[in-house]
């Protein structure tokens, strides 16, 4: 298949963005990668990614790319530099090595669909990011919550490093918009999947750590997890209202409470759970929380005022 090349770049992200744009205009494309052209007789190691289209659509493809090259997103294409700069501004950190940020955004589905073998996914960064996240939160709890027992620290850490917390963080910074996904994952709504967003968040944390050290990762996490940290600081965090409600009901010979999720509202990465607590046929309270456990605790707390 001898298709003409209509776009060249050194970035997989930029090539993917351009291919997505062409697809919205009904233009099929194929990527390829190889050494970048050089005037010197030795290789400098730079890889060039090329986007090719059917010959009869080449002129149309070039026009589409030219028209959208400098536009701001909302379904249109940015250059790699512009796209990453937007994310950098949102997280308040400028990378010295933007390749780390690009690597952190590359999901395994993209690597699996790439025939060139030149795309490396972010799974190793996820592994490192999980460790950095755990360290930063453990350090925070040691320094700022010395009154917590070990079990209480473990409970607080679990609340701040959970998949739900990381997915919510990713949603707040719009991380899903920047992920480099394979077509299959794209079509199944990967940019909104909670697990995928949480994994991408861990990879981003690792990229921050590798580029700017623990300070860069810590600053990002303390800023973006401010809600979760405030929740841990609140008097309600260590109170087990569900156990208290159960004990009160048992002491009066009443049935055990039953908690029912009546609604889940909002996008996958930032849902609100509506929970009702019943005793027999009696509804004692309704409440809302960012997790099922949080909503159940809030419902139990309200129920205690009524029984």
Residue ranges covered by each domain of the chain = 5-78, 123-233, 241-304
Q: Given pLDDT bands bounded at 50, 70 and 90, which one contains residue 166?
A: very high
Closest among 244, 20, 209 to 130, alpha carbons compared:
209
48 as an active site residue: the answer is no
102-157 pLDDT tens trace: 899 999 988 777 656 566 889 999 999 999 999 999 999 999 999 999 999 998 99
Q: What is the DSSP letter of 258?
A: E
* Residue 261 or 18, more confident: 261
The structure tokens listed for 27 are 């233009």
What's the rounded mean pLDDT across residues 222-238? 89
Q: What is the pLDDT of residues 54-84, one digit of tens each?
A: 999 999 999 888 776 544 343 334 455 567 8
Please indicate whether residue 97 is annotated as part of the active site: no
- Provide Rg for the chain, Cα atoms: 25
Provide the mean pLDDT of the chain: 85
Burial (0-12, 13-18, 19+ Cβ within 10 Å), 55: exposed
Residue matched to tokens 């940019």 = 191
Q: Where are the alpha helices (DSSP H) in the chain?
A: 12-24, 58-68, 80-91, 98-104, 108-113, 123-144, 150-161, 163-173, 183-187, 194-224, 226-233, 241-251, 292-304
| CATH code given to domain 241-304 | 3.30.160.20
Q: Which of 12, 14, 121, 130 is catalytic?
A: 130
CA-to-CA distance for 8 and 10, rounded, in angstroms?
7
Q: Point out the catalytic residue in the list 202, 211, 224, 228.
A: 202
Q: Residue 42: pLDDT above 60?
A: no
pLDDT at 79: 53
The tally of CA atoms less than 13 A away on the side-chain side of residue 188 is: 10
Instruction: Give ∠ CA 247-253-254 in degrees, rounded to 5.
Output: 80
Fold topology of 123-233: Ribonuclease iii, N-terminal Endonuclease Domain; Chain A (1.10.1520)
For residues 34-59, give the mean pLDDT. Answer: 70
Q: What percent of the chain has pLDDT over 70?
A: 87
> If pLDDT is split at 50, 70 and 90, which confidence band does 45 have?
very low
Q: Which of 32-36, 67-71, 196-200, 290-294 has the lowest mean pLDDT?
A: 67-71
Architecture of domain 5-78 in this structure: 2-Layer Sandwich (3.30)
- Give yes or no on whether 123-233 and 241-304 have one common fold: no
Q: What is the pLDDT of residue 3?
A: 93
Q: Which two tokens stand for residue 272?
A: 């609100």
CA pseudo-torsion sign 149, 155, 159, 160: positive
Q: What is the pLDDT of residues 180-204, one digit of tens each?
A: 888 888 888 888 899 999 999 999 9
Q: Supply the pTM of this predicted model.
A: 0.63
């Amino acid at each position: 298949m001898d298709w003409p090349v209509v776009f060249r770049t050194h970035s997989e992200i930029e090539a993917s963005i351009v291919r997505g744009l062409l697809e919205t205009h009904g233009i099929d494309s194929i990527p390829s990668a190889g050494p970048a052209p050089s005037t010197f007789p030795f290789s400098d190691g730079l890889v060039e990614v090329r986007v090719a289209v059917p010959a009869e659509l080449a002129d149309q493809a070039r026009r589409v790319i030219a028209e959208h090259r400098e536009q701001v997103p909302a379904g249109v294409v940015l250059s790699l530099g512009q796209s990453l700069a937007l994310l950098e501004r949102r997280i308040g950190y400028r990378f010295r090595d933007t390749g780390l940020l690009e690597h952190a955004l590359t999901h395994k589905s993209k690597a699996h669909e790439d025939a060139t073998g030149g795309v490396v996914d972010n799974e190793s960064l996820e592994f490192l990011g999980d460790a950095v996240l755990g360290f930063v939160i453990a350090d925070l709890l040691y320094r700022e919550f010395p009154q917590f027992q070990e079990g209480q620290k473990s409970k607080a850490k679990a609340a701040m490093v959970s998949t739900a917390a990381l997915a919510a963080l990713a949603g707040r910074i719009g991380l899903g918009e920047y992920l480099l996904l394979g077509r299959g994952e794209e079509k199944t709504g990967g940019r909104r999947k909670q697990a995928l967003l949480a994994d991408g968040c861990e990879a981003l944390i690792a990229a921050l750590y590798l580029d700017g050290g623990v300070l860069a990762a810590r600053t990002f996490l303390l800023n973006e997890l401010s809600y979760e940290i405030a929740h841990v600081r609140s008097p309600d965090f260590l109170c087990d209202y569900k156990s208290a409600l159960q004990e009160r009901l048992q002491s009066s010979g009443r049935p055990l409470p039953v908690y029912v999720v009546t609604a889940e509202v909002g996008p996958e990465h930032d849902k609100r759970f509506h929970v009702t607590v019943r005793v027999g046929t009696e509804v004692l309270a309704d409440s809302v929380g960012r997790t099922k456990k949080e909503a159940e605790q809030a419902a139990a707390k309200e129920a205690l005022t009524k029984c």
